[in-house]
Structure formats: C-alpha cells, structure tokens
C-alpha cells in the first residue's frame, strides 16, 4: 500500500517507518480495495495519555476511514490503530458483499 507519512515536530527513524509500513500492509488482507493512506505522527504536550499521536486516514473507493490514537509509544498507538482499522475494514467489506 502506498503511504504518505508526515512526522510533525520530529524526524521519524527508519525502524518506525518500516514498522508502520509492514503493519498497515497487512490491512490489505481484510479489504483489498484500499487505494492509499496518509499517516501523521505527532508529538503532543499532553502527557496524561502519552505524548505520541498517530493519525491514520485510509482512502477507499467512495469512502475513507480515519483513526486517531494517543499512547506512550508510537508502536503502541500504531498497534491499537491497526486493530481498529482491521475491524472497520472487515465491516465495510461485509457490508459491500451483502448489498
């Protein structure tokens, strides 16, 4: 999947970008109509939930899915976002197959 990644207020290292790409590539097994994705990685000053924010937008034909998670590490936020996106993509596929 083609991803456009922007890291805000820091430079993301290669390991984080590889982790993100591999994790989101797995989403295509749940719905193969994903066109592309946009990811924003941001450091936030709110420390109550953690200061790492991941905002993921997946573009599908006629639709888009947006997930925003804030955790103490980017990897944790990506994992939680992945699970949410996986469920939403599965529901969308079931919905389109039933129609």
Walk me through the domains of the chain, giving residue ranges and CATH numbers. 2-98 (3.30.160.100)
Residues 40-72 have pLDDT tens digits of 999 987 666 688 999 999 999 988 999 999 999
Asked whether the beta carbons of 5 and 19 are under 8 A apart, the reply is: no
SS3 34: coil
Least confident of 3-12, 17-26, 90-99: 90-99
What phi and psi, each to the nearest 5 degrees, are found at residue 67? Answer: -130, 135
Mean pLDDT within 76-88: 96
């Amino acid at each position: 999947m083609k991803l456009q990644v922007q890291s805000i207020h820091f430079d993301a290292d290669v390991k984080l970008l590889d982790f993100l790409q591999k994790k989101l590539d797995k989403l295509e097994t749940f719905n193969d109509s994903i066109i592309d994705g946009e990811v924003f990685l941001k450091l936030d000053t709110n420390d109550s939930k953690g200061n790492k924010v991941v905002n993921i937008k997946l573009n599908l034909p006629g639709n888009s899915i947006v997930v925003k998670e804030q955790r103490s590490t980017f990897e944790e936020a990506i994992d939680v976002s992945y699970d949410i996106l996986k469920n939403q993509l599965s529901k969308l596929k079931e919905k389109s197959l039933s129609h």
